[in-house]
Amino acid sequence: MRGMRRVHIAAAAVIFVCMVLALLAYWRVSTLLSPVASTGTHAEKEYFEKEVEIPLKYSTAQIAALLEEEGIIKSALLFRLYTRYRGYDQQLQAGRYTFSSGMSMEDILQELRRGVVYKETNRFTIPEGFTLEQIAARLGAAGLVDEDVFLEACRHYQNDEFTFLKGIPPEVYYNLEGYLFPDTYEVYPGATAEEIITVMLRRFNTVCNEEYRHRAEELGLTLHEVVTIASLVEKEGQVEEEKTLISAVFHNRLQNKHMPLLQSCATVHYALGETKAYLTSKDLEIDSPYNTYIYPYLPPGPIASPGANALAAAVNPAPVTYLYFVSKEDGSGLHYFSNTLQEHNRYKALAQRNRNE
């Protein structure tokens, strides 16, 4: 009986070891089949895209070796075995592909089977703080679309996909001002103005998501008002660390019944249609709903395209009581912040001295 018991124990141990080895093998194969970005060190987890040229008449083994060398797959051997198992061995096509670290081995094989090759694109970058007219000028200069055609498309653009564009007041210069998100884009040659606009609005919708909408409601603001504040912050704040402070000044003034005028120089520049080194007293008197020196509260709409940091600052102002700020005029891009007009006037005089030094 004891001998039989030992046999059973030994058999159970062998079965257990086999099961562990099978589980380890399954885990290892699953890991190798998964996307590169899903496992590994922090550096390996970072998402990336890479163009890979698959030459004509390359065998599966050569393709596998190339993809492993480029960091697109984890194991050339498993790629060859998996390709043969799936029956794709003679179906992989040559061409220039764009693969990402988020693609599984099956995804990569399907791309190679379908021959979904990379297409040439045109790349353009829109800096933070660009106005819609500046965006149109840059696209025109790059030969992507006629400047006037783009501006006209912005005037008449309609797309039910973007509900945030509804309810924009008629006083705005351009309905899309502030909503064409500043970023780097790639579009196919021949893309229309409407297609370029749609790509940029989708990017805005991704950045300015539901979290921003909820935060706007908590502040008692519409999303349009938030984007407008963000555009003021973008134009007034040259240093990232100050954007929440500048946002706080605007929020504090909006909540102060005795200070309805925001007095933002950036809004006057927008009303003038040009950016001056210094504004004159006559400039500050321009009759425009965008002139926050004579019209109370927020202007009708954004005065530029705010970036992600300015949008975040607009809904998360710093917990300060400042009501004024003025540029230090010392080349640093920084500002003096103050709570009272007396302090503000002292800082203005100091800024004047900095300018003359």
Taking CA atoms, 160 is separated from 31, 66, 176, in Å, by 42, 45, 14
* Residues 64-117: tens digit of each pLDDT: 999 999 888 888 998 999 999 988 888 888 888 888 888 888 888 888 888 866
Is the pLDDT reported for residue 155 higher than 80? yes
Q: Which fold has domain 37-114?
A: Dna Ligase; domain 1 (3.30.1490)
Determine the pLDDT at residue 281: 82
Of 302, 306, 304, 314, nearest in space to 216 by CA: 314
Q: Around Cβ 105, how many Cβ atoms within 10 Å? A: 22
* Main-chain dihedrals φ then ψ at residue 110, nearest 5 degrees: -65, -40
Paired tokens of 138: 């840059």
Q: Where are the domains of the chain?
A: 37-114, 122-207, 222-356
Q: What is the pLDDT of residue 227?
A: 96
The pLDDT assigned to 139 comes to: 96
pTM, entire model: 0.68
